[in-house]
Amino acid sequence: MTTEAPPSPARVRPPGIAVVPIRRHGRWAAAVIVAYLLFALGWSLWTNPNLDIPTVGRYLFAPSVLQGLVVTAELTVVAMIIGLVGGVLLAVMRMSDNPVLSGVAWVYIWLLRGTPLLVQIIFWGFLGALYPQLFVGIPLTGIVFGSVPTNSVVGAATAAVLALATHEAAYCAELVRAAIISVDAGQREAAMSLGMSAGSRMRFVILPQAMRVLIPTLGNETISMLKMTALVSVISGQDLMTAVQQIYQQNFKIIPLLVDASLWYLLLTSLLTIGQHYIERHFGRGFGSGPATGAARRRASRQAKAGPVAVPEEAGEPVAGDEPMVRAEQVWKWFGDTDVLQGIDITVRPRQTLVLLGPSGSGKSTLLRCVNALEKIDSGLLEVDGERVGLRTTGDGRLHEMAPAELCRQRTRIGMVFQRFNLFPHMTAIENVALGPRRVLGLSRDQAEAEAERLLTRVGLRDKLDAYPAQLSGGQQQRVAIARALAMRPHLMLFDEPTSALDPELVGEVLDVMKDLARRGMTMIVATHEIGFAKEVADTVAMLDGGVIIESGPPGECLVEPKEERTRAFLSKVLA
């Protein structure tokens, strides 16, 4: 007979501690002095007859000033758009492995950042003195299809835009490059594992996260551009500063007209600052504690308008056969002088689970990354589903690298779950899972979200569809990562120590999902230190040490009665 423990009494919050704060008299004294000085400065300006407030009001809305204001705004917008687009292209070129593209981008940035903007504006304004005619033809061949006078094409307005845009592109290139570099490398690898192309990875994964870093610095650049448009007055550009100068050169009211220009610049700067705030908030989704406001409501509205959604049927369980799902023969991988994998031989058949054991640095993760083509093997044979990983054989028997599109297609059949989850932080759970089916498999948004909802429900996260990764526990994030990989309907699942970054209390919920996959017949390769999981689920256990499989076989042999001393020593430490 068992007796239930009595319920614990409700705990009542006690009164807070009453503390007398420190009196910071020095700070208050400094604040009073600063406030007094600011008031004195403002009063001196307001009562200064030389400021000539009536003249400030008279010319503030003068037609020529307003026209100059419009030109300044247009110059800023057009130059920033061209500069940003050029900056993105230059940043991509700068990070390219091609030495010609990288070198050209480096020289452009060096040249444009190394010369004053004023010099560049004058250069573009007097381009006709260097090239009186602009030709259309094939360079260095003498073939010319037509020509026009330079000054008829590059006027003051065009020269101003070209000077500002080309100058800004050099600075934007480095800002964009820094923002892209700031995105964790795991984000790129997670997108690659879904089979996303380089363009899709950049558009949907890298740039949205880079924008969070880029927007504040880009806001500063835009405000600086707004003020730098005043320099085009040297080539008779009709900007705000030029309009003000033309007026005070006639009436000699220099100070009041400069105040007018300053007021308009401050207004435009304030509008840009407000816009920057909302753009930052948009691209900051998922990085704060706020929920995905309205996401569920918008999804429900779309589903109501679209009606019933035809969800693709769940892929059938793979059928066991003689052909292996994964075959590795004498696989070697090295980095410089370090041999990470040394002659690996493994065979995994459909519906089987291979568990990789071994200490950190033994090559487990590298082997999984090679199977998913995140790393290239240096020697040996590695096949998945009867196809060489990352390579294709031509009719003459020579090996060639797969084209990017072929490699993406191959990766869609190989799901991968990473040790650090690598969820996309700017997307909710359902958006993370639906991304691959939408952008790679071509499903509609409604179909992809319906499939994502089904998979998240399957892993026990029905109530977390609209939560961002930062709002989930480690175990919940890993389950979302599993659902994301399953959404691609892979033939093979790779798990790279999926529980090593979790608290002990959260390990079980991830292992339960993996056990369910094994029962359903999913082919899996799992790198883990969870010996109990290996005993229960694995068909084969392989012990790696120093890049070599030192022992492999059924879990009943390798984990209960290992033959190798190194295996026994490892198990004793793990199970201690």
Residue-wise pLDDT tens digits, 232-289: 888 877 888 888 988 888 888 888 999 999 999 999 999 999 999 998 888 888 776 5
Sign of the alpha-carbon torsion through 469, 474, 478, 480: negative
In this predicted structure, the answer to whether residue 39 has a pLDDT above a threshold of 90 is yes
pLDDT score recorded for residue 543: 94
Tell me which of 317 and 204 has the higher pLDDT.
204
Distance between CA 404 and CA 407 in Å, rounded?
A: 5
pLDDT score recorded for residue 316: 47
Mean pLDDT within 417-424:
92
Distance between CA 445 and CA 437 in Å, rounded?
A: 9
pLDDT score recorded for residue 235: 82
Token pair, residue 77, equals 């917008």
Work out the angle between the directed axes of helices 63-94 and 156-182 (0-180°, nearest 10): 40
DSSP per-residue codes, 216-247: HHHHHHHHHHHHHGGGGGGGT--SHHHHHHHH
Distance between CA 55 and CA 395 in Å, rounded?
A: 84
Query: Would you give the distance in Å from CA 237 to the centre of its chain?
Result: 39
Question: How far lies 176's CA from each of 102, 215, 453, in Å?
Answer: 15, 10, 35
Range ranked top by mean pLDDT from 228-237, 313-322, 351-360 = 351-360
pLDDT in tens, 101-133: 999 999 999 999 999 999 999 999 898 888 888
Mean pLDDT within 25-46:
91
pLDDT score recorded for residue 32: 93
Distance between CA 200 and CA 185 in Å, rounded?
A: 16
Q: With beta carbons less than 8 A apart as the criterion, state whether 373 and 389 touch.
A: yes
pLDDT score recorded for residue 8: 61
Residue-wise over 180-207: b if at least 16 C-beta within 10 A, else e? beebeeebbbbbbbbbbbeebbbebbbb
What mean pLDDT, rounded, does the chain reach?
Answer: 88
Tell me which of 136 and 494 has the higher pLDDT.
494
% of the chain residues with pLDDT over 90: 59
Token pair, residue 565, equals 């001393």
Structural domain 68-236+256-284, CATH architecture = Orthogonal Bundle (1.10)
Mean pLDDT within 365-376:
94
Residue-wise over 127-155: b if at least 16 C-beta within 10 A, else e? bbeeeeebeeeeeeeeeeeeeeebbeebe
Amino acid at 341: L
Q: With beta carbons less than 8 A apart as the criterion, state whether 483 and 455 touch.
A: yes
Question: Residue 254: how many CA atoms within 13 Å on its side-chain side?
Answer: 2
Residue 417: name the closest of 270, 271, 525, 573 by CA: 525
Distance between CA 532 and CA 538 in Å, rounded?
A: 10
Give the start-to-end residue ranges of the domains of the chain.
68-236+256-284, 326-575
pLDDT score recorded for residue 136: 86
pLDDT score recorded for residue 293: 54
Sign of the alpha-carbon torsion through 546, 549, 550, 555: positive
In this predicted structure, the answer to whether residue 204 has a pLDDT above a threshold of 70 is yes
Quickly state the pLDDT bin for 502 (edges 50, 70, 90).
confident
In this predicted structure, the answer to whether residue 488 has a pLDDT above a threshold of 70 is yes
pLDDT score recorded for residue 29: 92
pLDDT in tens, 534-545: 999 999 999 999
pLDDT score recorded for residue 285: 82
pLDDT in tens, 64-74: 999 999 999 99
DSSP per-residue codes, 149-164: EHHHHS-HHHHHHHHH
Alpha-carbon dihedral 257, 263, 264, 268, rounded to 10 degrees: 160
Q: With beta carbons less than 8 A apart as the criterion, state whether 102 and 187 touch.
A: no
Quickly state the pLDDT bin for 364 (edges 50, 70, 90).
very high
pLDDT in tens, 279-314: 888 888 877 655 555 555 566 555 555 555 555 555
CA max distance for the chain: 105
In this predicted structure, the answer to whether residue 319 has a pLDDT above a threshold of 70 is no
Q: With beta carbons less than 8 A apart as the criterion, state whether 382 and 389 touch.
A: yes
Distance between CA 212 and CA 209 in Å, rounded?
A: 6
DSSP 150: H
Topology of the domain comprising 326-575: Rossmann fold (3.40.50)
**Where are the extended beta strands (E) located within 165-302?**
none
pLDDT score recorded for residue 153: 86
In this predicted structure, the answer to whether residue 532 has a pLDDT above a threshold of 60 is yes
